[in-house]
């Protein structure tokens, strides 16, 4: 039976959309026509992305009574425009370009893109992307730069090892960390002109002295002045990056001060250290009202498998997709760290890794960690309580566990007769 439905399209009365490039942007404004009720007026104009031009655009939007400004996430060009309009008091939305699909067959220009985005936005067919507040953005800049510095330092250390291999100095075969106390002393001696393998080996400290004989063999090579020149440059760069990391860490401590209490509570979660806690806060903030449920946070971070179903059949590999790489890196590191602990998350990692492999275990534990993080940050006084490594075993039905063991033995060719021992009355 067909029913008559009365639906009324709700439009945002005064909305603007921006198509942003590096040097210019196109701004489309749509608002009601006072002379013809039900009709819309449209204004499309181009502006330079220089600050004064953007301020003129903001004045024009304010003059037209615009309440919401929508823009696509185009490279990093959206950031100065977004921040300026946000500071000017506009409700500013950043939307995912994948959500704004242009109609196929239509010509594509900056002007038409701005108009299309504005039409889609006025009909409330878009969702805003998560853009953290200014204080979190500054913390994010620092934590992301720290990641880049650590990566640069790691790359330079790899170059040092390759240089030593080129000189037939096999010290990395004997020393697990050639940049430790003993390793740096040996490298400094090489730079100072020492070439005697016995004297170089005697620079070993602590437990490494048990390997002096092997170290002497490792230092028999052809280390030349050419290698010394390159090694000096590489070590100087490693030390400079280490100093930069220390400076960035100090600045992070200043910026994390407003969120210090939340960071301390996050550090109670197994695998989450001080560096990871700061990185997580920098990526998702501390206001969980942006994510209505833990599942929303996991979905936004792409730590939930995609659901693809057609004709009643599920399709796809269950991949999660590509989310925030910095958050994924932090969660992956916490999952691997938690795997070494006798905790609920550690046991969860080990159980999944045995059945599905380490990669799936990292994603699963990362998702569990995100759920814990959401609950910890949602309450001002919420703290983490570990369920314990034996939680899974305590939830297993003994009868089911017995059946599984019997089935496994029967699969090996055994004939199993199970009998429950009788309880004797006291």
Whether 82 has a pLDDT exceeding 90, the answer reads: yes
27 neighbors 20 (Cβ within 8 angstroms): no
Locate tokens 């490792």: which residue?
Answer: 218
Please report the pLDDT score of residue 6 as a whole number.
47
Give the Cα separation of 344 and 371 in Å (integer).
14
Query: CATH for 15-122?
Result: 3.30.420.10
Please report the pLDDT score of residue 5 as a whole number.
44
Whether 3 has a pLDDT exceeding 60, the answer reads: no
Q: What is the dihedral of CA 400, 404, 410, 415, to 10 degrees?
A: -40
Q: Which two tokens stand for residue 223?
A: 């280390």
3-state SS, residue 216: helix
Whether 98 has a pLDDT exceeding 70, the answer reads: yes
pTM: 0.83
Q: What is the dihedral of CA 366, 398, 390, 297, to 10 degrees?
A: 20
Length of the chain, in residues: 426
Q: What is the mean pLDDT of the chain?
A: 88
pLDDT in tens, 53-79: 999 999 999 999 999 999 987 788 899
Give the Cα separation of 137 and 100 in Å (integer).
25
Backbone angles phi, psi at 25, to 5 degrees: -140, 155
pLDDT in tens, 272-306: 999 999 999 999 999 998 899 999 999 899 888 76
For 222-241, give the DSSP string: ---HHHHHHHHHHHHHHHHH
CA count, 13 A, side-chain hemisphere, 128: 14
pLDDT in tens, 365-417: 999 999 999 999 998 788 888 888 888 777 777 777 788 888 888 888 888 88
Instruction: Report which of residues 426 and 70 the model is more confident about.
Output: 70
pLDDT in tens, 348-370: 999 999 989 999 999 999 999 99
Locate tokens 């977004």: which residue?
Answer: 82
Give the Å distances, CA to CA, from 87 to 76, 78, 139, 164, 289.
18, 14, 18, 53, 22
Nearest 5°: the CA angle 232, 235, 240 is: 120
Backbone angles phi, psi at 94, to 5 degrees: -105, 125
3-state SS, residue 381: coil
Please report the pLDDT score of residue 404 as a whole number.
83
pLDDT in tens, 244-261: 999 999 999 999 999 999
Whether 425 has a pLDDT exceeding 50, the answer reads: no
Predicted confidence band of residue 8 (pLDDT cuts 50, 70, 90): low
3-state SS, residue 251: helix
Q: In the chain, pLDDT over 70 holds for what percent of residues?
A: 91
Whether 312 has a pLDDT exceeding 70, the answer reads: no
Whether 222 has a pLDDT exceeding 50, the answer reads: yes
Strand order in the sheet with 15-20: 40-48, 24-32, 15-20, 68-72, 91-95
pLDDT in tens, 125-159: 888 888 899 999 999 999 999 999 999 999 999 99
Please report the pLDDT score of residue 195 as a whole number.
92
Give the Cα separation of 157 and 1 in Å (integer).
73
146 neighbors 248 (Cβ within 8 angstroms): yes
Q: In the chain, pLDDT over 90 holds for what percent of residues?
A: 64
pLDDT in tens, 157-201: 999 999 999 999 999 999 989 999 999 999 999 999 999 999 999
Whether 426 has a pLDDT exceeding 60, the answer reads: no
Give the Å distances, CA to CA, from 302 to 27, 132, 256, 314, 324.
32, 18, 25, 19, 8
Please report the pLDDT score of residue 309 as a whole number.
62
Locate tokens 């067909």: which residue?
Answer: 2
Give the Cα separation of 285 and 278 in Å (integer).
10
Nearest 5°: the CA angle 115, 116, 117 is: 90
């Amino acid at each position: 039976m067909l029913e008559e439905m009365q639906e009324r399209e709700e439009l945002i009365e005064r909305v603007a959309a921006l198509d942003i490039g590096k040097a210019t942007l196109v701004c489309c404004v749509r608002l009601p026509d006072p002379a013809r009720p039900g009709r819309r007026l449209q204004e499309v104009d181009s502006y330079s992305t220089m600050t004064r031009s953007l301020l003129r655009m903001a004045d024009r939007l304010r003059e037209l009574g615009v309440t919401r400004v929508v823009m696509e996430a185009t490279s990093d060009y959206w950031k100065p425009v977004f921040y300026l309009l946000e500071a000017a008091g506009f409700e500013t939305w950043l939307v995912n370009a994948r959500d704004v699909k242009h109609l196929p067959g239509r010509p594509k220009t900056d002007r038409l893109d701005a108009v299309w985005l504005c039409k889609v936005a006025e009909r409330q067919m878009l969702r805003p992307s998560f853009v953290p507040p200014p204080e979190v953005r500054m913390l994010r800049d620092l934590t992301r730069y720290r990641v880049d510095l650590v990566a640069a330092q790691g790359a330079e250390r790899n170059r040092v090892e390759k240089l030593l291999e080129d000189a037939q100095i096999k010290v990395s075969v004997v020393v697990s960390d050639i940049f430790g106390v003993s390793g740096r002393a040996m490298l400094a001696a090489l730079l100072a002109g020492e070439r005697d393998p016995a004297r170089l080996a005697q620079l070993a400290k602590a437990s490494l002295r048990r390997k002096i004989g092997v170290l002497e063999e490792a230092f028999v090579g052809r280390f030349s002045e050419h290698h010394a020149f390159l090694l000096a440059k590489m070590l100087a760069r490693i030390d400079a990056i280490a100093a930069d990391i220390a400076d960035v860490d100090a600045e992070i401590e200043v910026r994390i001060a407003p969120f210090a209490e939340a960071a301390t509570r996050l550090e109670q979660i197994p695998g989450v250290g001080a560096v990871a806690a700061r990185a997580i806060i920098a990526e998702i903030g501390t206001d969980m009202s942006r994510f209505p449920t833990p599942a929303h946070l996991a979905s936004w971070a792409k730590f939930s498998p995609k659901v693809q179903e057609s004709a009643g059949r599920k399709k796809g590999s269950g991949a999660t997709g590509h989310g925030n790489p910095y958050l994924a890196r932090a969660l992956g590191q916490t999952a691997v760290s938690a795997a070494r602990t006798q905790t609920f998350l550690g046991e969860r990692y080990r159980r999944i890794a045995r059945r599905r492999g380490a990669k799936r275990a990292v994603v699963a534990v990362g998702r569990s960690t995100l759920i814990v993080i959401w609950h910890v940050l949602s309450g001002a006084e919420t703290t983490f309580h570990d369920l314990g490594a034996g939680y899974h075993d305590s939830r297993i039905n003994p009868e089911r566990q017995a059946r599984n063991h019997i089935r496994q033995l029967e699969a090996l060719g055994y004939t199993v007769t199970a009998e429950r021992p009788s309880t004797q009355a006291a």
